[in-house]
Chains A and B, each alone.
Chain A
Amino acid sequence: MTATLEELIEAMSAAEDADGSKATSVRLPEALHRAVLLATELGMDESFTAATSRALRERLGDFVRREALAEHFSKFPADLPRLADVARRRVQGSDHPGVSRPELIEEAAAWVEQRRPEWAVSGAVDDTVDEVLGYVEMLAARVGRRRRST
């Protein structure tokens, strides 16, 4: 029997509500184990277990989102948004430079969309939007553009 996305969502939802824990054995690289212990001591999380659970929850949440978006856009291609529109909406109401320079979002999104035409149906929405917004920040700061001599 193959696992379904519904079963995964249900299991994650149960994990939110449940108080109990289950001992499990995981082999971690020694250096990573030490790094988590140190980060816990420094206040990243209350315990090694809490740090591991939180990291797993975040990763599972990202995976479900990617799969759900990919499935939806494959099933309903008419719902596919423009990358520039998603990027513009992401920053709306924030202090990101793209808010006052929407033309930079258009420019960066057009370039990224050319390189990754499957960005939405592959589910890589957040990575692609982050990439666009990163380029917009660089363009707004004129990184890599030659300054005119005065």
Chain B
Amino acid sequence: MAKGPVRHLVLDSEAASALLSSVPVSAKRAAVMEAIAAANGRRLVPAAVRGESGWDRTDPVAANTNRLIGADDVLDRTAANRVAQLRVVVTGASVVDAAVAVAAERAGSDGGVVEVLTSDVADLRDLAANIRATVDVVHL
């Protein structure tokens, strides 16, 4: 159980792709690993991000990644509605970015800071300003 500040983590597609990499040295994967090590709360990947980054949990190649981020944020009926609502407010946001924001909102629903690790800081900041959670958007 977390003792000090609670930090959750939501990955975007770039972060998920970096984590899937199996090359011996990768600066991006190292940055994602620092974020995972720092996140003592929920660690989520939105289902839409998995689709975009090609993260198939049944593929043996994804075994290492599955261990590190075991939870999916499912794009269910409620989440789909929220994605649609956010895309009305932040018109340039993609479905995947909005799904990341919805996952962040769910992760931070009972407190803590949610780190969103993303290559698209501008859109995610706009989205984060419209959700009910404390979000720290970090550039990958």
Binding site for B on A (CB under 8 A): 5-6, 9, 12-13, 58, 62, 64, 67-69, 71-73, 75-76, 78-81, 85-87, 89-96, 120, 125-126, 129-130, 133-134
- Determine the distance from Cα of A9 to Cα of B70 in the docked complex, in whole angstroms: 7
Number of interface residues of B (CB under 8 A): 30
- Determine the distance from Cα of A95 to Cα of B38 in the docked complex, in whole angstroms: 16
State whether A79 touches B70 (Cβ < 8 A): no
Q: List, in ascending order, chain A residues with CB within 8 A of B29's CB.
A: 76, 79
State whether A86 touches B66 (Cβ < 8 A): no
Select the residue from B5, B26, B34, B35 with max chain A CB neighbours within 10 A.
B5
Q: List, in ascending order, chain B residues with CB within 8 A of A68's CB.
A: 64, 67-68
B88 at the interface (CB under 8 A from A): no
State whether B37 touches A81 (Cβ < 8 A): yes
- Determine the distance from Cα of A71 to Cα of B115 in the docked complex, in whole angstroms: 23
A78 → B minimal CB distance (Å): 4
New contact pairs (8) apart from A72-B68, A79-B29, A89-B38, CB-CB < 8 Å:
A68-B64, A72-B33, A78-B24, A81-B37, A90-B7, A93-B7, A129-B40, A130-B4
For B19, the closest partner residue in chain A by CB is: A72
A-B interface contact total, Cβ < 8 Å: 94
Question: Beta-carbon contacts of B2-36 to A below 8 Å, as 1s and 0s?
Answer: 11110100000000000000001110011001111
- Determine the distance from Cα of A9 to Cα of B25 in the docked complex, in whole angstroms: 26
State whether A79 touches B113 (Cβ < 8 A): no
- Determine the distance from Cα of A85 to Cα of B2 in the docked complex, in whole angstroms: 18
State whether B2 touches A6 (Cβ < 8 A): no
State whether A72 touches B25 (Cβ < 8 A): no
State whether B1 touches A58 (Cβ < 8 A): yes
B136 at the interface (CB under 8 A from A): yes
Which one of A12, A89, A91 lies within 8 Å of B4 (CB-CB)? A91
Select the residue from A87, A92, A93 with max chain B CB neighbours within 10 A.
A93
State whether B24 touches A76 (Cβ < 8 A): yes
B3 → A minimal CB distance (Å): 5
Q: List, in ascending order, chain A residues with CB within 8 A of B3's CB.
A: 130, 134
